[in-house]
Amino acid sequence: MATKCKHKRTQVILTIENGEVVCSRPVLANEFTATIDCFVQMLEKAGYIVAYPHPALIKGVN
């Protein structure tokens, strides 16, 4: 049987650089997180066409 947790559930966003946490903040009630693939899938399900730019058009690519 699971024990009841006495603490409020909190989700956080961590920024990690070189294996060290450099920043953290709670996820706000009106926010959600997902992978890029998930966002693309949501857009496509909503009827959008997702087109990635040709590499030659990206600044700094020769």
pLDDT along the chain (62 residues), means of 10: 75 95 95 92 96 80 52
- The reported pLDDT for the residue numbered 62 is 52
Please count the other Cβ atoms lying within 10 Å of the Cβ belonging to residue 21. 10
- The reported pLDDT for the residue numbered 54 is 83
Phi/psi for 36 (5° steps) reads: -60, -40
pTM exceeds 0.85? no
- The reported pLDDT for the residue numbered 59 is 73
Which letter does DSSP use for residue 58 in this model? S
